[in-house]
Amino acid sequence: MKKRGKGIACIFYGTGYGNGFPDVSRAIAELRKDGNIAIYVGATEVGQGAKTIMLQMAAEVLGIQVKDIILSCEDTSITPDSGTAAASRQTYNTGNAVKIAVEKLRKELIQIAAKRLGLNSTVGLETRDKKIYLKSYSERFVTFKELASSIKENIKKEGIFIAQTTKMDDETGQGAPYWPYTVAACSVEIEVDTETGKVEVLKAVFAQDVGKAVNPKLIEGQIDGGFSMGLGYALMEDLKLKNGEIKNNSFTNYLIPTSMDMPEIEKVIIEEPESTAPFGAKGIGEPVTIPVAPAILNAIYDAVGVRMTEIPVTPDRLLKALKEKNLGAISNE
Q: Out of 30, 189, 274, 286, which one is annotated catalytic?
A: 286
Compute the Cα dihedral for 146, 148, 151, 156 and give only its sign.
Answer: positive
**Sequential pLDDT tens for the chain (333 residues):** 999 999 999 999 999 999 999 999 999 999 999 999 999 999 989 888 999 999 999 999 999 999 999 999 989 999 999 999 999 999 999 999 999 999 999 999 999 999 999 999 999 999 999 999 999 999 999 999 999 998 888 999 999 999 999 999 999 999 899 999 999 999 999 999 999 999 999 999 999 999 999 999 999 999 999 999 999 999 999 999 999 999 999 999 999 999 999 999 999 999 999 999 999 999 999 999 999 999 999 999 999 999 999 999 999 999 999 999 887 666 666
Burial of 317 (0-12, 13-18, 19+ CB in 10 A): middle
Cα separation, 229 vs 236, whole angstroms? 10
Please state whether the peptide bond connecting residue 315 to the residue before it is cis, i.e. omega within 30 degrees of 0: no
Q: Which residues of 303-313 are buried (b: 16+ CB within 10 A; e: fewer)?
A: bbebebeebbb
Outline where DSSP puts E strands in 42-93. Answer: 69-72
- By the 8 A CB rule, do 177 and 235 touch? no
Q: Is 286 among the residues known to form the active site?
A: yes
Q: Residue 139: enclosing H or E segment and its boundaries?
A: strand 137-143
Q: Which residues of 113-143 are buried (b: 16+ CB within 10 A; e: fewer)?
A: bbeeeeeeeeeebebeebbbbbeeeeeebbe
Cα separation, 15 vs 124, whole angstroms? 38
Cα separation, 44 vs 244, whole angstroms? 32
**String of DSSP letters for 213-224:** -S-HHHHHHHHH
